[in-house]
Amino acid sequence: MMYNFKKAFVFVLTFYFITFAWFLYKLPYRVSFDRKEPEEKPAFVIAYKNRYWLVSENGDILGVAKLSDLATNAFVSQVDVVDLKVDKVSLETMKRLKIVLQSPYVTEVRLKDKCAILLKGVVLYFNEWNDLITHCSKLETAIRFMEPKSEYFLSPVGLFYKLRGDESEKK
């Protein structure tokens, strides 16, 4: 007598189908997952290890940021992170810059370079963080006159100077 592989295959397939149907029958009608909201609300968005992350007021990394998070606030780059927590110095600077990060004209703030990337790809350098915080309200009118993809310097008195390279540097 020969072994019939076709009948054996149908038998095993039927057995798995009945087992799967019984498992579905035993499941409750509604499956509920207890999704808890994070205890801490995201306060900042940082760029770290080629991703954007949500960070709490305490400096804890809460998770990966969504595109909608980037649309509402500027992100901070060149941040020091240790054990999934933002460094204290970086966190204090980010807290001071909260009003700047909410500006619709700022897209990124680089902590180590002390510069802000504005709309149109404009790079704005400054000496002190207070210069940027104090003159953040002037960005609305200044951005209208700034050339795209150019570099400017913000003076402590609130004047914007265009930085120029020598003629041998062509971009």
What are the tens digits of pLDDT across the range 127-137?
Answer: 999 999 999 99
Q: Is 43 among the domain residues?
A: yes
Domain that residue 61 falls in: 38-96
Q: Is 167 among the domain residues?
A: no
- pLDDT score of 161 more than 50: yes
SS3 29: coil
Counting the structural domains of the chain, the total is 1
Q: Is 91 among the domain residues?
A: yes
Q: Is 65 among the domain residues?
A: yes
Q: Is 48 among the domain residues?
A: yes
**Beta pairing, strands 42-48 & 51-56:** antiparallel
Mean pLDDT of the chain: 85
Q: What is the largest CA-CA distance in the chain?
A: 99
Give the H or E element holding residue 12: helix 5-26
pTM above 0.75, yes or no: no
Alpha helical stretches, state H, 122-164: 129-134, 139-145
Q: Is 88 among the domain residues?
A: yes
Q: Is 142 among the domain residues?
A: no
| Residue 33 pLDDT | 46
Average pLDDT over residues 113-117: 94
Q: Is 139 among the domain residues?
A: no
The span from the CA of 151 to the CA of 130, in Å, is 19
